[in-house]
Structure 1
Amino acid sequence: MAAKVAYADVEVGTELPSGTFPVDRAALVRYAGASGDFNPIHWNERFAKEVGLPDVIAHGMFTMAEAIRVVTDWAGDPGSVVEYGVRFTKPVVVPDDDQGAAIEVSAKVAAKLDDDERTVRVDLTATSAGQKVLGMSRAVVRLA
């Protein structure tokens, strides 16, 4: 885990190290088991296509969890995230091949919110296959 980031060392516009997170069907099955979300759109290609999807898609909460890793890795403590929200804009389509999909995430400090609480707002951009998959993705982070 990275060293904790000090509030005094962060400026608005600071870019966090980006991340790319691979997703394959096996990851979706493991996530389904952990979350209890066995909706067939996340594992059954035939069903997913029957309901109008291009293929199996990743769970929305899985996508959110992968995206916030950029922030928690940067902050040095997963507990430093005090608020996190997104809008789902496009699904992460996960083909049944040797590559699967990838979620690419970048983030930057958009605002310093409270000097006493040492909180900042981090805006995230998450894409997959060249399309934005999360909109209005923002986290409030308490720094050291």
Structure 2
Amino acid sequence: MIARVSAFVFACLFVSASASAQPRQFGPATGTVTINQLQVAFVGSGAIGGGTLRFKKHTYEITVGGLGIGGIGASRLTATGSVYRLTNVEDFTGAYVQVREGWALGDQGRGTLWLRNAKGVVMRLATKRRGLQLSLGADGVLIGFKQ
């Protein structure tokens, strides 16, 4: 329980710092990403999906999965945005801390995701949601390349 609370507090501090930071503080965008995901939450949350990474004129198919805390409901999420601090495509995969806020009611919904991994790669994604969900919390997200 203490570990979950600590992770949540860390994630909230990361969001506060990230939300106040302009993307230019991360330098120029080095890639773009699109993620399509199904999210389900009732205190705990889970998500599964995939998408694409566009980096140095190449497109890579990715898988996305995660578990976290915070929120209630279910929604389909489409997220698009910029990737920062990515210099080597192999640095993109791995575990990310994700901080999320957003909502969905029918086909109306939106939010923002900030993700960061241990290699310093940062993503800022605008989301569109469909379903019925209120989302505010933190997750661990695992991103890989589709085999």
Higher relative contact order (CA 8 A, sep 6+): 1
- The structure number with the bigger radius of gyration is 1
Structure number having the greater helix percentage: 1
